[in-house]
Structure 1
């Protein structure tokens, strides 16, 4: 009898996949609870020292879950946070989840399998799974919700028990296998390779909710949209959603290389931070924040014609005060993160006296993920993948993201033996132009 991995790679039928035995353990990128104090007193929390690759026990499936043979995954900043044990060790999340009892108790392990982006093949389905079958090609929403919680049925992101998969839960995506709830599954875009598809759900879904979905800024034609980190994972998708929606994206970048990447994704107006004097750590002086904002605002009005209607904010402390200042009167700052720090300094007068709004946004609900997935499947939104690493080198891949040395998204091959596999609609791929589906790969030098 062939192994399950061999059957998946050989394109086995659902019947053949079901006959192949599930292994008792599997290879995974994981953290160890014994390392949680590894970086105490250390300034550079180098994630290469904490991310391990090795075998972990295969968990049992709950009735509403599926086992996925992960063909490719991706690095997100939550993996970096996890591996730095900041702002606190994720083992605390796993213990908190496990206190619910029942199937949740499995998540409290001495190892944490991380990763929140995934493309792969369903190889087992629990008895309560109805809409998905063994053999389906899927990508996975990075948010796990409780479908028995009333708030979930209004907006899954408002449920108290929604969790970031592979960050606040165990058995994540940077592995040969992953466990996800059936309510997280989305059809894989057929024209994309495994790695091109894997990098999209977390960042593209998050950007979609922030800009396009009914819970975010409600972008409209003619808007000017300021996008911080326009060459990054989130920013690269924000640029595309803005342009596709008839808005004018104004991208902020930190180097000529990243300016070229933003333009490759469709951002015609690109401003380097050095042009308005934003360097180094954020200032705690509101007057300096205003001075930087005035310089940036002048550049935006010069190149886009007016102040931004929407500011796409995810950097946090280093940029939030400036974002609030430059937004147009009556404009919106929509924020989903604070990678540079959670404590923001800004002059509140520019918020209330100019009638601006701040919208908090987190990931995306399943409706938003499906709508975003449809745009990707039609070719209207392109992958922001810029590099591909094997799972064995997850430490190097995560370090690249930790030090902001990357463009867009960094993909990770798990069971896929090489890049370029998994395409099931070659006609659409050819019609869209294979060389245009991941435009940052050419700028970054191609597959690792």
Structure 2
């Protein structure tokens, strides 16, 4: 079927990209599906909005941004590097539509509160994304099939990284792709921070296709370096923020407690979360999944404020009222103190299963290609004047310093009251003992 274009270009105003340009009918139709519109109700940064109050942006706005960056890459490649002969390694613009659709839909399978929900209920947002794209029951699949009968499977294979054209795959998923570039800029803008800012215009200008994927002109290497450093800073300052992780621990334990109560047959019918029950039973359909969003979960949490189980009610209140767990960092050398700290938390009247947690958050700012790794990363190639390729970290001492170095920390989370210094408090002796352990063990408070 011939590609259908809109009679007049559609634009969306965007705080990061100014205008997002839509020229294809299929793209506009996909945006208007219920499955895609659902992304308006899922925050891009989840509980991080409890720390950075401006971070109310959604998976919807991010997905449009990834589409727009991909569109700009395609425009650059079509204008400057069009294929001349089969196999010349340049850009075949017949690949544009599959790249744009994959970019737009890459996050459509994210669930309510994204990664926390995924961890508790063992869902896989990437697998669900592919299912939404290829399941004949979805509006998304029906629209993609209007392009060609096998087109949904082509789009899904890009998202699965199995599509035969590496240029298309790397646009959407690599160490410097449209997904990462949009979320860094968008998250920096909405959190009010500058760490994620980099020169997107320059990077897009120096991107070039070659037979093995996408590379970057040598004269644009410093813009790529800046991107790597920006990503490193965003993870350390935003994504791994200890308070955000403390809220995530509350959310995790809240959902775990609800699941435990349901499995024990103790969930009061008047408070039963009907839309969550298929997940408690580990027997959910795609339609069950698509009915959930952040707002649905928050509504259940509001109901649970009055639930007779004190742990569930308290965790719901802590989450909705923004009362995160506090934390200290620990290492392998100090991890031996954690059982005693948990015991003291229990002595203070808290069930350590729900009021303590260990969390480790580490990220590789840049990872050199290792074909023997379980999930080998696509390395960033710098294209020299003679056409040869050099891996980025071999040319940049700055990137070499970050390469292969997992950066982050391990934290032990506990109720804030354990730091109470009120000598008249009911558990003052327990609190003092807890604080003494922190001091003697040289555990670091934020």
TM-score by length of 1: 0.26
TM-score by length of 2: 0.26
Name the structure where helix makes up a greater proportion of residues: 2
Name the structure where strand makes up a greater proportion of residues: 1
Larger Rg computed on CA atoms: 2
Q: Which has the higher contact order (CA 8 A, sep 6+)?
A: 1
